Structures are given as C-alpha cells and as structure tokens.
Amino acid sequence: MNAIADRSDGSSAVDVRAARRATRLIFLVSGIGMSAWAPMVPYAKARLSLDDAQLGLALLAFGGGSMLSMPFVGWLAHKLGNRTLIVASGLLMCVALPVLAMASSTAMLIAVLLYFGVVLGAVDVAMNAHAVDVERLDGGRLMSGFHGLFSVGGLTGAALMSALLAVGVPLTFAATVMALVLAVMVMWLRSDLLDDAPTADTPRKEPLSMPHALAWLLGLLCFVSFLAEGAMLDWSAVFLRDFRGLSEASAGFGYAFFSAAMVLGRLTGDRFVGRYGPVFAMRIGAALAAAGFLLVACVSGAVMSLVGFVLIGLGASNIVPVMFSAAGRLPNTPPAIAIATVTTLGYVGLLSGPALIGLVAHVSNLPMAFAGVAGLLVLVSFSARIVK
C-alpha cells in the first residue's frame, strides 16, 4: 500500500500513513475521554447526595445527548469537513471533564452530561466518517483496528483516572490533567488528519440528501449489535450473581472477559475481514455471538458462562466496524450522513436494549432474555449480505 495517495477530488496528495496513524490515535483519544468519566461517577453521586434512581436519570442525559446530536452531526460533517468537526468536538470534549468534576448541583450535572454526550456523539460520527475516507485511500481493511483502539482507550482512560484518584490526586486536578493531555493530542494530530473541508474551488460532489434505504437497514442491524453490547454491560454481572452463584465482587469478571475478547477481536479483525471478506466476517461473527448467548443462557456453571462471554466478545467485535465501512460506501449518500444514521439507531439499541432485556426478564427470566438476544443475532447473521 502506498504511503502517498492522490485525493479522488483532484486535490493534493496526502500522506496515507500519517492519516492512518492519526485516525487510530483519535479513536484512542475518544475512548480515553469517554471512559475517564466512569471513575468520576461515584464522586458525583456522593457530592450531590443522589440516590440510584436520581443518578440513573442524570446518566440518561449522557446517552441521550449523543443520540440526539448524531443526525445533525452528519450534516455538519458534510458541510464543514470531518477534520474540522473532529478537532472542534474533541477540544469541547476535553472541556467537559473538569466541569463534570466540579458540578455542584444535579441540574448542572445533567446539563454538563448532556453537553458531554453531544460532543462525544460529534466525535464519534466524524471520526468514523474520516476512517471511511482513510480506508478508501489506503485500499485495505482498517475499520476494525480503529475500533480496537477505541476499546483500548476505554480501558486506558478508566485505568488512568482510577490510578490518579487512588494515589490521592484531587478529582478536579486529575480531570484537568486528563483533559489537557487529550487536548494536546488532538491539536498534535490535527495536521495529519485529512483536510476534507469543502471550498469554493473544490466543492463537495455528493449532494446533501436523505440517507440511502440501506443505511436504515444497516442501522437496524447495528441496533441489535449495540443491544447485545448493552446487555453485557448492564446484565452480565447480575446474571453471574443471581444465576451462576458468583459473589458481587467476582461477578464483574463476565464483562471483563467480554471486553478483553472484543479488544482482541478488533485488533485482529482487519486481517480476518481482509482474508475472508466482510460478508463472511459479519455472518460468522453474529453466529458466534449468538452461540455465546445461548451457551450463557442454557449451560449451567460459571466457567461455561465466562466462555460464553468470550465468544460474545469475539463474535460481536467486528460486526459494527464492518457495518460502518459498508455505510460509508453506500451510493448517493455522503459517508457522514450514512454513518450518523447507522450510529443513531445503534445508540438507540445501546440505551433501550438493557431496559428491554429487563422487561423480558421480568416477564420470564434473564436466561430467556439472553436467548432472545441470540435469536436477534441469528437474524443479523442471515442478513450479512447487506454489507457486500
């Protein structure tokens, strides 16, 4: 693959290697920025004397802000360029971290979380649209690796913030340090991102239009994949405690096994997708994740459940990256618009999925709810040809 490539719009050549590296690091920065908030949640709860219900309602603002902003972000990315939006929203994301540490009322916390969700949604859509452009210029499969770096960032951000707090660094100072480091990284990477802003001399060729019908179908499949990830985040520990007899202190191993498997799957996913193709990768991935959910639901024993969580992580790891790449290649739809559509529907699954699982579990039980997720993943596997 060439390190230098000509832009398809006739503009000057770009350093694909530098753009590839910058895109990986932006995914890493986004993952760190998002996960740095997780260790701050107990501090916010204690500082504001919130009960579980009040905290849950406040946290809805975070996901809701991301979901609401994404359709508009697609339009902004189309108009301003992905690089402009990545840099602007990345810096705005950094501003949110110390403010979250200082929120002095529930209303302020909700407002800042809403803002945090909006700017993270902007980063998410713009960096994925930028990744599609880089992947196209590179000529290879890169999206799984990009998402792998986001997952690494998620683990890194929570670990770094927890480490700073554990050694006695004040919360606001720790959040400010994280924000400054991330802001410096965003500005350092700016020059290596693709300059895709439209100008009078090089206007965008794609007309602004409604998303292609296939974008909506990809979004529905993404809904299922994100629902499965949300099930692991919110219900894996409960399942291991209530149905497999693990203690509360050990029940978190389920999500840890799932997360580690997902990181491994994404970091090796580009090679797998490049060798076997996106259709096979999505089909086998969704089938493997479905098998993992069935193993968890139907086979007793904590060890087998942990094996099932690993299968779910490996199987689900490349479904979303493959669908994002497919969305970015849809005809007559700018990549940012298509990815915004797919991501929005995916976030609906991430936010509503755990509640839907809880409803099914209330009517029947949690293993039956997991079996239902397996059935949805089978439908995703049967629909894999859409990414061709």
Alpha carbon separation from 221 to 17, 282, 322, 348 (Å, rounded)? 32, 11, 11, 12
* Separation between Cα atoms, residue 123 and residue 19, nearest integer Å: 16
Query: Do 130 and 224 reside in the same domain of the chain?
Result: no
In a domain, 198, yes or no: no
Query: Phi, psi at residue 247, to the nearest 5°?
Result: -75, 165
With CA atoms as reference, report the closest residue to 297 among 220, 374, 245: 374
Domain count, the chain: 2
* Separation between Cα atoms, residue 382 and residue 388, nearest integer Å: 13
**pTM, rounded to two decimals:** 0.81
Domain that holds residue 225: 213-387
Terminal C-alpha separation, the chain: 22
Query: Do 243 and 335 reside in the same domain of the chain?
Result: yes
At 131, the amino acid letter reads A
In a domain, 53, yes or no: yes
Burial code of 132-168, b = ≥16 C-beta within 10 A, e = fewer? bbbbebbeebbbbbbbbbbbbbbbbbbebbbebbeee
Query: Do 157 and 223 reside in the same domain of the chain?
Result: no
Mean pLDDT by 10 residues, the chain (388 residues): 50 73 94 88 87 78 81 80 92 95 92 92 90 88 90 87 89 95 95 74 50 83 90 83 82 84 92 92 96 95 93 94 87 80 84 81 90 96 89
Query: Do 277 and 178 reside in the same domain of the chain?
Result: no
In a domain, 246, yes or no: yes
Token pair listed for 300: 């007793």
Taking each helix axis from N to C terminus, what angle separates 269-276 and 143-166, rounded to the nearest 10 degrees? Answer: 170
Query: Do 187 and 261 reside in the same domain of the chain?
Result: no
Query: Do 88 and 187 reside in the same domain of the chain?
Result: yes
DSSP string, 86-120: HHHHHHHHHHHHHHHHH--SHHHHHHHHHHHHHHH
Query: Do 175 and 276 reside in the same domain of the chain?
Result: no
* Separation between Cα atoms, residue 317 and residue 213, nearest integer Å: 25
pLDDT value for 4: 54
- Quick one: CA dihedral 251, 256, 261, 262, positive or negative? positive
Query: Phi, psi at residue 14, to the nearest 5°?
Result: -125, 155
pLDDT value for 65: 84
Query: Do 174 and 219 reside in the same domain of the chain?
Result: no
Query: Phi, psi at residue 28, to the nearest 5°?
Result: -60, -45
Q: For residue 134, give the CATH number of its domain.
A: 1.20.1250.20
Query: Do 154 and 266 reside in the same domain of the chain?
Result: no
Query: Do 114 and 219 reside in the same domain of the chain?
Result: no
Taking each helix axis from N to C terminus, what angle separates 278-298 and 319-328, rounded to the nearest 10 degrees? Answer: 150
Helix (H) or strand (E) holding 282: helix 278-298
* Separation between Cα atoms, residue 169 and residue 351, nearest integer Å: 32
Query: Do 256 and 137 reside in the same domain of the chain?
Result: no
Query: Do 186 and 240 reside in the same domain of the chain?
Result: no
With CA atoms as reference, report the closest residue to 93 among 153, 16, 18: 153
Instruction: Rounding to the nearest 10 degrees, give the CA dihedral for residues 343, 346, 348, 349.
Output: -170
pLDDT value for 357: 86
CB 263 within 8 A of CB 152: yes
In a domain, 133, yes or no: yes
* Separation between Cα atoms, residue 351 and residue 64, nearest integer Å: 8
